[in-house]
Amino acid sequence: MQLESAGWDDAWAEAFAGYQDTGLLPGRVFTYNRHVYSLYTEAGEVTAEVAGSLLYRADDSELPVVGDWIAFRQHSPGDLAIIHEVLPRRTRFSRKAAGGAFAEQVIAANIDTLFVVCGLDHDYNLRRLERYLVASAESGASTVIVLNKCDLCHDVEGRVAEVSSIAPEAPVVSVSALSPDSTSALLRYLDKGRTAALIGSSGAGKSTIVNQLLGGGFQETQPTREGDSRGRHTTTQRELFLLPHGGLILDNPGIRELQLWSDPSSLQSAFPEIDALAASCAFRDCSHHADRGCAVQEALAHGELSQERWHSYFKLQRELRHVALQFDDNARRNAKQRIKKLCKEVKRNQKRY
């Protein structure tokens, strides 16, 4: 196969140039399961594992994931290939790893477009969409919101308008994954060599959309539960597919809980109207609660900003600040100093009375 069909271009060739004289070859990860990788290469599909030296020196977030371009060595055709390097990523969609450990989990790399899929059934949730928009803004990829199951919705235009109101900069496309004519609307974002990834809840219809784009039943699918439209995690691993017309699509297992791993500035892209209002406040350090001259509170009082939207923004802001504190030693020190100062103030006031 030609690497160009997997997204290879002049920029990737330049990034790989330093490895050309070392006997390493370029490839792209299209599946990963139990420490075994499958690669698209110039010679076809190759099975690989990571070199011990890379495992030793790299953090978990720096190890290969689906979508990564890598440098590998294979002594003979048919041999197990060894991945020695991961080329610098252009984009990365990440979340906080599950469990108590504070670590980044990279879900997909080098994605040009993120299709955020939401079902127009019980899966429909504006607040969850806002969370995905924050994570998408951090990834560096462009965002397209896909409202699936429009055949089950009696007011598709109304839902599109609601979603557009919280994501004015992202295209919103309504589709029925059961109709190939409907899902073909997504092909405009999948030019030759470009990569898109589907993210969303289990049962949103991601695998069914992939099947329609591929033109056949490549991905196993199951109906959602009637009571709550929840899926059954039909997709159990991430996989990158080559589309017939030349683009690539990455299917993901449903995400039950998306814990953010983002910079607080990502909120500006996901909540542009609140960011604009904050710039009009009378004071630069306005907390947007009881401060005099607060443009945000004025917008809330006049109904120009919904309470639900503001509460979602405030909740996500607190979550992102907590994330920032965890890996920013200076921020942690400053927070401790503020707490100590507040405690001293409390003790001083107690002595007065």
E-assigned strand segments in the chain: 25-33, 36-41, 44-50, 69-73, 81-86, 92-96, 104-109, 113-119, 142-148, 172-174, 195-200, 239-242, 248-251
Q: What is the per-residue pLDDT for 333? A: 61
Which stretches in the chain have pLDDT values below 70? 1, 100, 216-236, 254, 327-353
Give the position of tokens 């029925």. 176
**pLDDT computed for residue 340 by the predictor:** 67
Q: Is the pTM of this model over 0.75?
A: yes
The confidence score (pLDDT) of residue 49 equals 96
Provide the 3-class DSSP secondary structure of residue 118.
strand
pLDDT at 210: 93
**What is the reported pLDDT for 233?**
45
Please name every residue paired with 172 in a beta bridge, in sequence order, or none if there are none: 145
Q: Note the pLDDT of residue 150.
A: 93
Task: Give exposure, 117-135, as e/b (b: 16+ Cβ within 10 Å).
Answer: bbbbbbbbebebbbbbbbb
What structural domains does the chain harbor? 3-86 (2.40.50.140), 92-251 (3.40.50.300), 266-352 (1.10.40.50)
